Structure formats: C-alpha cells, structure tokens
Amino acid sequence: MTQVIVGFLIAATVGLTGIGGGSFTTPALVLLAGLPAAEAVGTALVFAAVLRVIAAPFYVVRRLVNGKYLRLLLLGAIPGLLLGTWFLRLLHERSWNPVVLVLIGAVLAASSAVTFIPWLRRPRFARERSGWLSLLALPIGLETGFSSAGAGALGSVLLLNYSELSAAEVVGTDLLFGIGLAVCGSALHLSWGSMNNDVLLRLLAGGIPGVLVGCALAKRVSAGRLRTVIAAVAIILGLQLIWMGSRPLLHALTHNHTARPALTQPEAQTISTRAPSPASTVSVCCRA
C-alpha cells in the first residue's frame, strides 16, 4: 500500500510540474521498498517514462508544447546522452557517480533559485539566441548518460528562466523532452540494470490516477504559482541529489580514515624476526 501512495504522490508532482519522476522514485524505492540500486533505477526509469507518456497528451491538446525549442533541446541532448553512456560503459564502473550526483544537485538547486531572483532571469535569451539551447542541452544529455537523474528538472529550469514560455508551456515542452530522452536512455540503461515488475505495477496503480490529478490541477493553478511550485520542487530535488551523493562519499572518507590495513603473514613474520627478544635486551643491558 505504501508503494501505491508513493506512486500517486510522485505522479501528481509529475503531472503538475513535469519533473521529479525518476529522481524522486529511485531513492523512495531504495529507502522504502529496499530494492537494490540497479532494480530501483530500472523500475524508476520505466515508471517515469509511463507517467510522461500519459501526461504529455494533455499538454499537446492544449497546445502547450513549443515545437521549436523541443527540437533544439533534443538536437543537443541526444548526442550528449549517447556520449555520456558510452563514456560510462568505457569506464566499466559507477563508483564516481556520487560525485556526479552532488554536482548535478548543486547546479539544479542553484539554477532553480534564480527563479526567485527576477533580475537574474533572461526571458528573451532563447528567442534571441535559440541556437544556444542545443549547446546548453548537451550537458543535460551528458548528465543523463552518467546518472539518469534530474534531466527533466534541468530542462525545466533552463526554459523557466531563459525563455519567454509560460509555466504551463515549460511543463508541456519538458514532458516531451523527457520522453525523447527516456526512449533513448531506456534502451541503453535498462540493459545494465534489472526491473522489479511487482513494484512497478504497484507504483503504476497509484501513479496513473496521480498523474491525471496532477494534470487536472495544472489547469487551475495560475502561471505565477505554477512557476513557484516548479522552482520549489526543483530545489528540493537538487538538495535530495546532493544528499544521495554525499552519503557514500562521507562513508568512504570515514572508512578510509578509520580502517587500518591488516598485516600479511610474511610481514608479521618479518617484524617478529626483527624485534629483539626480552632476553637479548636484558643481556645487552648487563654487558653495558
């Protein structure tokens, strides 16, 4: 029952703001359901993709998707996604992912805070320099290839503060942007992890009505309040990513300081042969 409620709450957030699906679901599955990290990531990725597919038509029908900006974002993000995934596979490890999560969380929280500082926002930036959207989307795709976390939120923050789009248009455009990345990312990342079908079904049992409720609420929330909600959710998500990434880093740092390597048997024998015996010490003292 807990997973059904969690699925509902996360899905309502996705339907309202377009962000938080994968990054909120993964820690919830690890902490509440006790899933291994690989299963949590795979399950959360599919869950978020299904929610976006359900929510997207509501915004498409209401013509709240900017096709030009969506095309430019995908043009830069998809090559970044492929590059990030290839680089991650090349390293054959994910031990440095906590550092990536901390960096993503810090960038997301700081950039979302710009929403509450009006003089730092540049609403005409995308219109006057639309080509830059592809370049700015490249690191978003790269980050998705590294960790598959926070991509939708970064896209929302970018459009929210540096385009003339309304808050509802930002949500609609970002939903389709997330679907495009999910289609490519799922094919690459799910081959590395597993998926828990039982947990996914319970999440969807609460998530499907939840995303419908979120989409319905988005129609009634004013543009100003919706902008504030999106920024607040993005800041919370950024702090959550910092927390997720810093925990293993702090644990590793503490473990390195406290752990002492045990002596091997040859080393112990060498030390014992070099150490003087009590009898020889007494003999030397008497001769002196």
> In terms of C-beta density within 10 A (0-12 exposed, 13-18 middle, 19 or more buried), how is residue 221 classed?
middle
Determine the Cα–Cα distance for residues 122 and 137; give it in Å rounded to an integer. 17
Determine the Cα–Cα distance for residues 175 and 60; give it in Å rounded to an integer. 10
**Amino acid letter, residue 91:** L
pLDDT of residue 275: 47
**Cβ distance 62 to 232 under 8 Å?**
no
pLDDT of residue 208: 93
Return the exposure string of 247-269: e unless at least 16 CB atoms fall within 10 Å of the residue's CB, then b.
eeeeeeeeeeeeeeeeeeeeeee
Determine the Cα–Cα distance for residues 39 and 37; give it in Å rounded to an integer. 6
pLDDT of residue 285: 42
What DSSP line would sit under 57-76, residue for residue?
A: HHHHHTT---HHHHHHHHHH
What values do phi and psi take at 148, rounded to 5?
55, 35
Q: Cβ–Cβ contacts within 10 Å for residue 273, how many?
A: 7
pLDDT of residue 271: 46
Determine the Cα–Cα distance for residues 206 and 232; give it in Å rounded to an integer. 23
Query: What does each of the 288 residues of the chain score in pLDDT, given as a tens digit?
Result: 888 998 999 889 888 888 877 777 877 787 777 777 667 777 887 888 888 899 999 999 989 999 999 999 999 999 988 887 777 666 655 445 677 778 778 887 887 888 788 787 888 888 888 888 999 999 888 877 666 666 677 888 889 889 999 888 998 999 999 888 877 877 776 666 667 888 889 999 999 999 999 888 887 887 778 888 888 888 888 888 788 778 877 877 787 666 555 555 554 455 445 545 544 444 444 444
